[in-house]
A = this chain, B = another copy of it.
């Protein structure tokens, strides 16, 4: 594997641009990959609390990763959808998931050894 020496230069910043590794960002993006979802359609499969989900969604909205659309109905309806920018994150995320899937046995074997 040949790697551009400067490929990692932007990883040297104090805090990563997007907290890929935080507990929820990645899962929310994956949950939204097939189309918009409502608050309640995220909270159940993710098994996240309302507070943390709200915080995560707001942060991702601020970063331009997803959009929040509130319809003035009652009971309330709010839909969250990935932006094109958010969609571009699916590819590197897939790379990590593929690595996880491929090397999980190896890591677990190393851990138990």
- In this assembly, does A89 line the interface, its C-beta being within 8 Å of a C-beta of chain B? yes
Question: In the assembled complex, which residues on chain B have CB atoms less than 8 Å from the CB atom of A3?
Answer: 33, 90, 94
- In this assembly, does A7 line the interface, its C-beta being within 8 Å of a C-beta of chain B? yes
- In this assembly, does A100 line the interface, its C-beta being within 8 Å of a C-beta of chain B? yes
Q: Is the CB of B97 within 8 A of A91?
A: no
Q: Is the CB of A97 within 8 A of B10?
A: yes
Q: How far is the CB of A21 from the nearest CB of chain B, in Å?
A: 1
Q: How many copies does the complex hold?
A: 2
Known pairs A96-B92, A97-B10; A20 contacts B18 (CB<8 A): no
> In the complex the two chains form, what is the Cα distance from A91 to B1 in whole Å?
8
A-B contact pairs, 8 of them (CB 8 A): A1-B91, A17-B107, A21-B22, A64-B111, A85-B106, A89-B99, A92-B95, A92-B96
Q: Can you name 7 extra interface pairs (CB under 8 A) apart from A18-B100, A18-B107, A88-B99?
A: A3-B90, A3-B94, A10-B104, A11-B93, A16-B100, A63-B110, A92-B99
